[in-house]
Amino acid sequence: MTLEFLREERVTHGSDCAADGSHSEVESRNHDAGAQVEDLEESRKHDAGARFVLKSKGSWLHCGYHLTTSIVGPALLSLPFAFSSLGWVGGVVCLIVGALVTFYSYNLLSLVLEHYAQRGHRQLRFRDMANDIIGEKWGRYYIGPVQFIVCFGAVIGTILLGGQSMKSIYLISRPFGSMELYVFVAIFGMFMLILAQIPSFHSLRHINLISLLLCLAYSACATGGSIYVGYSAQAPPKDYSVVGDNQDRVFGAFNAIAIIASTYGSGMIPEIQATTAPPVTGKMFKGLCLCYTIVLATFFNVAMSGYWAFGNKADSTILSNFIKENGHTSVPKWFFLMTNIFALLQLSAVVVVYLQPTNELLEGFFANPQKNQYSARNVIPRLVFRSLSIIIATTIAAMLPFFGDISAVLGAFGFLPLDFVVPFIFYNITFKPSTRGAIFWVNNIIAIVFSVFSIVGSISAVRQVVLDAKNYKLFANL
């Protein structure tokens, strides 16, 4: 079973006519593109969120940039930590399965979106897909809220990571400095107040190209740093055993699976595809190929080199393993600072990408689609409510510096269903593959297996929150 086979099957189900020659095929494509543009503009006349935030002007390259920023973020620096609960075999297998399943599921979502776009009903949001495919109640009370919680939770967690990264840079420069974590979180949040005002998802294309380059840069640095430490005279003893009793190992394994799922998660594939200009056919597939080329070049190198160097002593982010006491580092100090700066800069791009579903929702409530996007009537509410969303996220990040534990819950509860379960359900309902065929059963099996992982992963993540609760303190200086 290949993706090309799926694409051919979709065309068989969804194409009303076939071009007999190259000339008629070009005419058909041009006519379809023109019809899609007209239908899209008509549907957006009364939808401020779609009209102002989800502008469909991008190419497949822009789509690839957005995808890469939403998937390949500094969270990948936690992969060696996930390996410490899975071991070599379990870690590598989970990483490969995560890549295969998400690449496949994201392509299935793309095929469903293309199917509706070719029929003059382009879906721009995850909740739009749910409304049309499984019912309005599912879209309003499950898919929509879960996506919002996951994406806004990612904003909070990323702002916290930004503050922690700034604090690491500060402590290396001034080992006995007295500034606390919440100060750095607030500083990073103030910077995000500016970037949050970028008007549309499409406007982020150049920022996300820089983000793509930055993720390659800090991943290469993390990999190189791990190899440097692993071969150094002060290399830590390498122990690859999974520690703990049987219960701790089981829950630790499911928690690690939730971390890997969160790392591969996007939660906003329809919104990203909405940024592409009509006709949309094939653009998402090219964008995903670009994105997963970056995934292969970063996830596996960082995970395997970090786990090789530090074994079951790998910290929650591999950069923490490079820090010694009193501001000393196990890699050259300039190298450590450079790696942190690369990660810090990319975090700002990740925040604004995951803020887009919130922006779209706010524009839908408070903007007037009949007015110009840059009129005072629309600019003032945009400035107020986007700033308010960043202030709320920054406040939560500063108050709850243990939000990493909560993020594992969000990953198991949100990313796993949205990215590992729902796409297969949407595809089977939309295209109704034969129950005698492999596609139907492969999709169902994947959906069932990852539904179980989602439930058990949520329990495991909540258990970890309970175990760590004794260390929780508001505005703690972690």
Mean pLDDT of 145-149: 92
Model confidence pLDDT, tens digit, residues 270-284: 999 999 999 888 999
Model confidence pLDDT, tens digit, residues 174-192: 888 788 899 999 999 999 9
CB 52 within 8 A of CB 378: yes
CA distance linking residue 447 with residue 312, whole number of Å: 31
Specify the range with the lowest mean pLDDT, choosing from 152-161, 239-248, 388-397.
Answer: 239-248
Q: Which two tokens stand for residue 440?
A: 């139907």
Q: Is the pLDDT of residue 477 over 80?
A: no
End-to-end CA distance of the chain: 48
Q: Is the pLDDT of residue 301 over 70?
A: yes
User: How confident is the model at residue 39, as a pLDDT?
Assistant: 53
CB 229 within 8 A of CB 62: no
Q: Is the pLDDT of residue 306 over 80?
A: yes
Q: Is the pLDDT of residue 12 over 70?
A: no
User: How confident is the model at residue 283, as a pLDDT?
Assistant: 94
CA distance linking residue 352 with residue 348, whole number of Å: 7
Q: Which residues of 230-269 are buried (b: 16+ CB within 10 A; e: fewer)?
A: beeeeeeeeeeebeeeeeeeebbbbbbbbbbbbbbbbbbb
> Where does the pLDDT of residue 404 fall: very low under 50, low under 70, confident under 90, or very high at 90 and above?
low
Q: Is the pLDDT of residue 34 over 60?
A: no
CATH topology of domain 58-470: Hydantoin permease (1.10.4160)
User: How confident is the model at residue 13, as a pLDDT?
Assistant: 47
User: How confident is the model at residue 8, as a pLDDT?
Assistant: 52
User: How confident is the model at residue 3, as a pLDDT?
Assistant: 56
User: How confident is the model at residue 466, as a pLDDT?
Assistant: 78
CA distance linking residue 31 with residue 45, whole number of Å: 22
Query: How high is the mean pLDDT of the chain?
Result: 87
Q: Is the pLDDT of residue 369 over 50?
A: yes
CA distance linking residue 136 with residue 21, whole number of Å: 41
> Where does the pLDDT of residue 403 fall: very low under 50, low under 70, confident under 90, or very high at 90 and above?
low
Model confidence pLDDT, tens digit, residues 81-107: 999 999 999 999 999 999 999 999 999
Which one of 166-175, 311-320, 335-344 scores highest in mean pLDDT?
A: 335-344
Nearest-10 crossing angle of helices 181-195, 376-399? 160
| Pick from 264, 286, 257: nearest CA to 105 | 264
When computed from its CA atoms, the radius of gyration of the chain, rounded to whole angstroms, is 23
Q: What are the residue ranges spanned by the domains of the chain?
A: 58-470
What's the one-letter identity of residue 20?
Answer: D
Q: Could you tell me the sign of the dihedral formed by the alpha carbons of 97, 407, 452, 445, in that order?
A: negative
Q: Is the pLDDT of residue 5 over 60?
A: no
CA distance linking residue 253 with residue 386, whole number of Å: 38
User: How confident is the model at residue 1, as a pLDDT?
Assistant: 46
